[in-house]
């Protein structure tokens, strides 16, 4: 069965430092992977996706993610965190006629 795992409930990082939010996946066939961000009392917003091609994917707000097939990972990264990046981040995988979301990682960027 298709699944994604986000091993960290919360990640704390100082403003200006690089951030990483981890995601691993388990799929049969080619994975279609996504990252979304959710601010309080809002819907999920798309950040980036990996469908095929270059393993390093660039997305909105300076975020990027690296697809690693051997480690079955799709970690979200940003070189320099902003306080405004503080939010809930979800990794997702496409599975047939649905998308399966991870449990979410709360990112807290400290000023």
Partner 1 sequence: EPEVTQTPSHQVTQMGQEVILRCVPISNHLYFYWYRQILGQKVEFLVSFYNNEISEKSEIFDDQFSVERPDGSNFTLKIRSTKLEDSAMYFCASNWAGNTGELFFGEGSRLTVL
Tell me which residues touch partner 1 (CB under 8 A): 32, 34, 36, 40, 42-46, 49, 51, 88, 90, 94-101, 103-104
Min dist. Cβ of residue 64 to partner 1 (A): 16
Beta strands in the chain (DSSP E): 3-5, 10-14, 19-21, 24-26, 33-38, 44-50, 56-58, 64-68, 73-78, 87-95, 98-101, 105-110
Query: In terms of CB distance, is 52 or 70 closer to partner 1?
Result: 52
Query: In terms of CB distance, is 19 or 57 closer to partner 1?
Result: 57
Query: In terms of CB distance, is 51 or 83 closer to partner 1?
Result: 51
Structure tokens at 48: 């980036």
């Amino acid at each position: 069965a298709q699944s994604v795992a986000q091993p960290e409930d919360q990640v704390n990082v100082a403003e200006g430092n690089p951030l990483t939010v981890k995601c691993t996946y388990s799929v049969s066939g080619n994975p279609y992977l996504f990252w979304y961000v959710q601010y309080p009392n809002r819907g999920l917003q798309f950040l980036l996706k990996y469908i095929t091609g270059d393993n390093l994917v660039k997305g909105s707000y300076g975020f990027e993610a690296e697809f690693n097939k051997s480690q079955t990972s799709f970690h979200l990264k940003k070189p320099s965190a902003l306080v405004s990046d503080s939010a809930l981040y979800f990794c997702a995988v496409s599975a047939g006629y649905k998308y399966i979301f991870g449990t979410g990682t709360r990112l807290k960027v400290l000023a």
